[in-house]
Amino acid sequence: MEYLIIAIAVVIVLAVAVGFLLRPSRRRPSGAPPSPPGPAGQADSAGTAGSAGTAGEAGTVAGLGTATLPPAVPGPAPAETEVPPPLAGRMARLRGRLARSQTGFGSVLLGLLSRPGLDEQGWEQIEDTLLAADLGVGPAHQLMTELRTQVKVEGVSGGDSVRALLQSDLIEAIGADIDRSLHLGPHGDRPAVVLVVGVNGTGKTTACGKLARALIGDGQSVLLGAADTFRAAAADQLETWGNRVGARVVRADREDADPASVAFEAVAEGIDGRVDTVIVDTAGRLHTKTGLMDELGKIKRVIEKRATVDEVLLVLDATTGQNGLRQARVFAEAVDITGIILTKLDGTAKGGIVVAVQRELGVPVKLVGLGEGPDDLAAFEPATFVDAILGD
Ligand SMILES: Nc1nc2c(ncn2[C@@H]2O[C@H](COP(=O)(O)OP(=O)(O)O)[C@@H](O)[C@H]2O)c(=O)[nH]1
Ligand SMILES: [Mg+2]
């Protein structure tokens, strides 16, 4: 009798134990535990939060033992950050931004050139249109003269041939064969270093953030250096970008710290952390030319104690025209520029600044800003640009 009671007790204990073991694996796949949805939801997210963010969610799902689970595991969709498209080819995607704001310039030129029997006054109008588009005096005159000769010699008439002529001349003025590639990516055990310079408000910090995002999307690791130490807000802004795109930001612990030491620290950390590219944001105070030269020169020299500065990118706001160009020249005299980032092209009808700035500084436009969004930075492609200006 006693044996029977013990046997029954053992069976009950075993049954309860088996029940407990089986319960979780039945509940998880269903995703609708019998307990009230609120607390259950919280418990779920608490589990996820334990390992923080996207990676945590992936970890949690894996931890459930996927082999026993059907594919439809409930819970929030993974907060997968979208992979940005490569810089090359973005201009075509964003060409609407150019076409909208620049139909004026392109269509006026096409209209004037299509006039039968263009007279002296007509050619003057063409030159004026090019000047108004910020092409610069020299390039505007040269382009007009070239068009004039071609029209005379080849007797161009008809919309299509006029367009083709203008298209090829504009592309030539911009330079189709110039090397616009960015020299980025690590060399040996050193990261590539990019120094971003230019007047305040042109879009330097934004460009640093957008470029970091594009490089990270391309599989690189990026570190940002906040060498604009004059306002704490400047480093905060860069840090916001860093957090957004997944790049560590090296900044000074106090306002008005030495920008060169921040740049040095950023590069040193980049080397230690085996980062692929370090992007250094700078201040754009146009105090005195010697002040600027001293400051940028020192930043560059200090970085070069540890690494090579691969790119010095000058940021120019396309909406500021000739005035912006004058300021850009001061920067170019202070430090050797390797490329131009022309920002806010989405906000101007004066695309001729591309020609003017290249001519003025003797370096290519490598990137263009076409809006404030994180992916609104594109590799500059002359043919796409001209197509957008002239419309279809
Ligand atoms: N529309 C437009 N706005 C831009 C572009 N690039 C930057 N901006 C805006 O210009 C302002 C100044 O940019 P910021 O990066 O702070 O300039 P910084 O002082 O040179 O660092 C910000 O409001 C940016 O959002 C662009 O390509 N298009
Ligand atoms: Mg800034």
Residues 37-57: tens digit of each pLDDT: 333 333 333 333 333 333 333
Residue whose CB lies within 8 A of the most ligand 1 atoms, among 97, 200, 372, for a mutation test: 372
Mean pLDDT of the chain: 81
Structure tokens at 310: 């691969």
- Pocket lining: 220 vs ligand 1, CB cutoff 6 Å: no
| 207 Cα to the center of ligand 1, angstroms | 8
Of 20-24, 27-31, 231-235, 241-245, the range with the lowest mean pLDDT is 27-31
Stated length of the chain: 392
pLDDT of 200 over the 60 cut: yes
Residue 246: predicted pLDDT: 95
This prediction's pTM: 0.80
Q: What is the mean pLDDT of residues 218-230?
A: 95
Residues paired with 336 in a beta bridge: none
8 A C-beta contact, residue 140 and residue 169: no
151 HSE (CA, 13 A, CB side): 23
- pLDDT tens readout for residues 160-191: 788 899 999 999 999 999 999 999 978 888 99
Q: Give the nearest ligand 1 atom to 343 CA.
A: 27
| 260 Cα to the center of ligand 2, angstroms | 16
| Higher per-residue pLDDT: 36 or 104 | 104
Residue 202: predicted pLDDT: 95
- Pocket lining: 371 vs ligand 1, CB cutoff 6 Å: yes
User: 43-52, 103-112, 133-142: which has the highest mean pLDDT?
Assistant: 133-142
Hey, whose CA ends up nearest to atom 9 of ligand 1?
203
Helices (H) and strands (E) in the chain, counts: 15, 8
- Pocket lining: 327 vs ligand 1, CB cutoff 6 Å: no
Structure tokens at 139: 């390039």
Q: Order across the sheet with 309-317: list the strands.
A: 248-250, 222-227, 277-282, 192-197, 309-317, 339-343, 365-369, 377-379
- Pocket lining: 333 vs ligand 1, CB cutoff 6 Å: no
| 234 Cα to the center of ligand 2, angstroms | 5
- pLDDT tens readout for residues 313-356: 999 999 999 899 999 999 999 899 999 999 999 988 889 999 99
Residues, beta carbon < 5 Å, ion ligand 2: 204-205, 234
68 pLDDT tier (thresholds 50, 70, 90): very low
One-letter amino acid of 26: R
Hey, whose CA ends up nearest to atom 7 of ligand 1?
203
Hey, whose CA ends up nearest to atom 6 of ligand 1?
203
Hey, whose CA ends up nearest to atom 22 of ligand 1?
203
Residue 191: predicted pLDDT: 97
Residue 71: predicted pLDDT: 36
Q: What is the mean pLDDT of residues 215-241?
A: 94
| Higher per-residue pLDDT: 349 or 216 | 216
8 A C-beta contact, residue 271 and residue 311: no
103 pLDDT tier (thresholds 50, 70, 90): low
Q: Tell me the backbone φ, ψ of residue 341, rounded to 5 degrees.
A: -105, 110
Of 10-14, 132-136, 283-287, 355-359, the range with the lowest mean pLDDT is 10-14
pLDDT of 306 over the 50 cut: yes
Residue 294: predicted pLDDT: 87
Q: Give the nearest ligand 1 atom to 208 CA.
A: 15
In this structure, the number of other CB atoms found within 10 A of the CB of residue 285 comes to 13
Residue 86: predicted pLDDT: 94
Q: Give the nearest ligand 1 atom to 228 CA.
A: 21
**CA–CA separation, 131 and 126 (whole Å):** 9
Q: What is the mean pLDDT of residues 151-161?
A: 77
Residue 49: predicted pLDDT: 32
pLDDT of 66 over the 60 cut: no
One-letter amino acid of 231: R
**CA–CA separation, 172 and 223 (whole Å):** 37
Residue 156: predicted pLDDT: 72
| 200 Cα to the center of ligand 2, angstroms | 6
Contacts of 242 (CB under 8 A, 6+ apart): 209, 212, 224, 248, 249
74 pLDDT tier (thresholds 50, 70, 90): very low
Question: Where would I find the beta strands (DSSP E) of 199-338?
Answer: 222-227, 248-250, 277-282, 309-317
Q: Give the nearest ligand 1 atom to 210 CA.
A: 6
Parallel, antiparallel, or unpaired for β 365-369 and 377-379? Answer: antiparallel
- Pocket lining: 101 vs ligand 1, CB cutoff 6 Å: no
Residue 61: predicted pLDDT: 28
- Pocket lining: 205 vs ligand 1, CB cutoff 6 Å: yes
